Amino acid sequence: MAGDIKLTRHQIQARTVGKSFERGALLYENGAISSPTRRGDEISARCQGSYPQPYRVWARFIGAEIVAAVCSCEYDWGGDCKHIVALLLAYSDQPEQFEKRATLRDELMSREKTELLDMIEEMIVRYPDLEDIVERAAVDGFPSQFIDLQAIRRELRSALRISGEWMDRAAENKVYELASLGDRYARRGDYVQSIAIYCAILDECNASGYPTDDEGQYIEAVNQAVARLKEALSHLDIEQHEDLRQRLLDLLVSAVIWDIDFGGIGYADDADEIILEIVKPADTPRIRERIRLAEEKDREREYFSNWSGEAYEYFLMALDKIDSTDPEETLKRLQAKELHYSQASALLELKRYEEAAGVVAKLHPAYELQRGLDLLADHQQNRRAIQLAEAALESDYDSRLAAWLIDLHKKHGDEKAEFRWQLNRMRKDPHIDNYIGLRDAAEAVGAWRSNRSEVISELKRKEAYEVLAQVYLHDEEWDLAWDTLGKAPMRQDHHPSHVIYRLDFTVAEKSRHVRPARAVPVYVNYARAEIDLRTRKDYAYAAELLREVRGMHQQLNDSAGWKTLIANLRREFARLPALQDELDKAGL
C-alpha cells in the first residue's frame, strides 16, 4: 500500500446496510478504536463494543479499494459491521495515528528459529486449538498422490461432530479454514496436493450428517471447496493421475447421492458437472451400480417420492450420453420406473410430441401435471398443453391448474379463452382476486356488464357474503358493502399486534373517507382490543386507530363527539401511564 489511502465517508458507507454506518461513526467519535496498526496493505485495531473485551478488526486494501474487512464480532446481517466502520473512519480521518510495522511475514522471517519455536509453544498454551495447525503442517510434504490426510480429517470431523447449536458456525468456518490450506498449495502450482486437501474435506463432509445450518452457510462453504477443486482440476492433466481420478469420481458420486438424499439442497453443486468432465465409459457401470443401490434404499423410505427418482435419472441420462446409450433403452428404463416427467422430457428432446403428451397425461396430482404442461409449453406444444389442462379441470377442478391455464391464454393473447376460464374459475372458486381477474378479462371482450350481474346473483345464491362484501368494496358500492357485512361470517385475520382483525375492519378501513359515521364504532372497538393487550406496542397501535377516529369526527364536523370520546377513554384508562404517553405522542 504505497502512501496513505484517502478513504471517503461515502466509500465506507456504501459497504454497509441498515444503521451500521451511523453506529460505527458514533463508536469512532466516542474513541472506541485502540491500538491502530498498519502492516503493508493491511490495517487493524481493537474496537470497544458492548462487551468488556474489545473486538479485533482488520481490513486489507489493493490500491484505493477495500478488498476485505473482518471483525471478531458475530454480526451477520450484510455489509460491514459498526466496528469495521469505526476502524475505516479512524484510518480515513487520522492515518498518521496508525503505527506502521513490518508485515507479519517479514517480522517472522527476522526471528531466530529458537525464538519462533518458543513463540509457537506460547501461542499453543494460550490457544490450544492451534496445535491442530502444527499437526496439519507436519504431514510430510504431501506426496503427489491422493493420501489420507489424517490431521485435516480429525479437525473437520471434530467440528462436524460438535456443531449443533443455533448460530454455531464451527463446521462452516473449519471447511473454509481447511480449504484455504488447499488454496495455498494451488497458488504455488502444486495442484495435486491442493486437490488432495479438497478431497479430504469433501470425504469428511460426505460421511457426516447435516450439521446445524441456519441459512445455508455450511452448504455454501462446501460448495466453495468444490468450486476450488474444480478450478485446480482445470490446471491438471488428470489423465496422468488415474488413482486420483478414480478417487475423485467416488467422492463426487457420493456428494451427488448425499444431496439427493437430503432433498436437493444444493450440496456440492458442481459435483455432477465435474464428474461428466472426468468420467470415462469404463467408469459408468460402477457409478450406475452405486446409483441403483441408492435408489433402492430411497424407495424403502416411508415417505418416498418420485423427486429423488427423477434426480437420479437426470444424472443417469447424462451418463447415457457418455455411453452413447440407445435412446430407446433410456425410454424403456424411464417407463419401467414410471418416471413420467423424465420420460416426457426425453420424448420431447427427440421431438416425439404426441407420445410426450400421452405420457404427460399420466401425471397426477395436479401440481405434477402442471410440471408436465410446462414441459410441453417450453417445447411450443401449447395446443396439446391446453387440451390436457382443460380435460383435467373438467374432471377435477384445481385452482393452481386453472391459474396456469389462464396465464397461458393471457401470455398468448387469447382474450376470449382467457375470459371463458376466468368466468369458470370465479364460478368454481369465488374469491375477490378471481373477481378482479374476471372483470379485466370480461372488459377486454366487452362482456362485463351482462356477466357482472350474473356473478353477483351467483354469490348471493351461494351465500358467499364475505366475497360479495369485498366485491362491493372493490366497486365502491359502499352502502351495499356495509349492508352485506351483517350477513357474512366473521373471517379472522391476525394483525401484527396479535389482535384478530375481521371483515368489519376491512369494510370500515376502505370506506372510512366516504362513510365515516359507520366506520367510527368499528375503529373504536379495535382500539379497545389493542389496549386490552397491555403492551406499549399495542398502545401505539391503539393511538394510530384513534388518530383515524379523530379524522373521521372532523369529516363529520363533530369535534364535540371526539372530545367526549377521547376524554372518556383517558379517564377510563387513567391507570395506564404508558397508554397515556402514547396518546400524548399522537397528539390525542
CA–CA separation, 171 and 241 (whole Å): 30
**78 and 158 both lie in a single domain:** no
User: Which helix or strand (DSSP H or E) is residue 39 part of?
Assistant: strand 33-39
**184 and 103 both lie in a single domain:** no
Q: Is residue 456 situated within a structural domain?
A: no
CB contact set of 383 (below 8 Å; sequence gap of 6+): none
Residue where a domain terminates, one of 109, 126, 159: 109
Contact 32, 45 (CB under 8 A): no
Residue where a domain terminates, one of 87, 109, 131: 109
Q: Is residue 262 situated within a structural domain?
A: yes
**78 and 149 both lie in a single domain:** no
Q: Following DSSP, what letter does each residue of 165-222 receive, concatenated?
A: STT--HHHHHHHHHHHHHHHHHHTT-HHHHHHHHHHHHHHHHHS-----TTSHHHHHH
Q: Following DSSP, what letter does each residue of 94-120 receive, concatenated?
A: -GGGSEEE--HHHHHHTS-HHHHHHHH
Contact 316, 304 (CB under 8 A): no
Q: Is residue 69 situated within a structural domain?
A: yes
User: Which helix or strand (DSSP H or E) is residue 494 part of?
Assistant: strand 492-494
Q: Is residue 434 situated within a structural domain?
A: no
**265 and 216 both lie in a single domain:** yes
**174 and 273 both lie in a single domain:** yes
CA–CA separation, 106 and 109 (whole Å): 5
What's the predicted TM-score (pTM) here?
0.65
Residue where a domain terminates, one of 263, 281, 299: 281
**What does the pLDDT profile of the chain (588 residues) look like in tens digits?**
445 677 889 999 999 988 899 999 999 999 999 999 999 889 999 999 888 889 999 998 887 788 889 898 888 778 899 999 999 999 999 999 999 998 888 888 888 888 888 888 888 777 777 776 666 654 444 444 444 478 788 888 888 887 666 666 778 888 988 898 888 888 888 899 899 999 999 999 999 877 766 577 889 999 999 999 999 999 999 989 999 999 999 999 999 999 998 888 899 999 999 999 999 999 999 999 999 999 888 888 766 677 888 999 999 999 999 999 999 999 999 999 899 999 999 999 999 999 999 999 999 899 999 999 999 999 999 999 999 999 999 988 999 999 999 999 999 999 999 999 999 999 999 999 999 999 999 999 999 988 999 999 999 999 999 999 999 999 999 999 999 988 887 655 555 555 566 888 989 999 999 999 999 999 999 999 989 988 888 999 999 999 999 999 999 999 999 999 999 999 999 999 999 999 999 898
**89 and 188 both lie in a single domain:** no
CA distances from 30 to 20, 33, 36, 82, 225 (A): 15, 9, 15, 13, 41
Tally the domains of the chain: 3
Q: Is residue 287 situated within a structural domain?
A: no
For 493, the 3-state DSSP assignment is strand
Domain extent at residue 530: 492-585
**498 and 581 both lie in a single domain:** yes
Q: Is residue 115 situated within a structural domain?
A: no
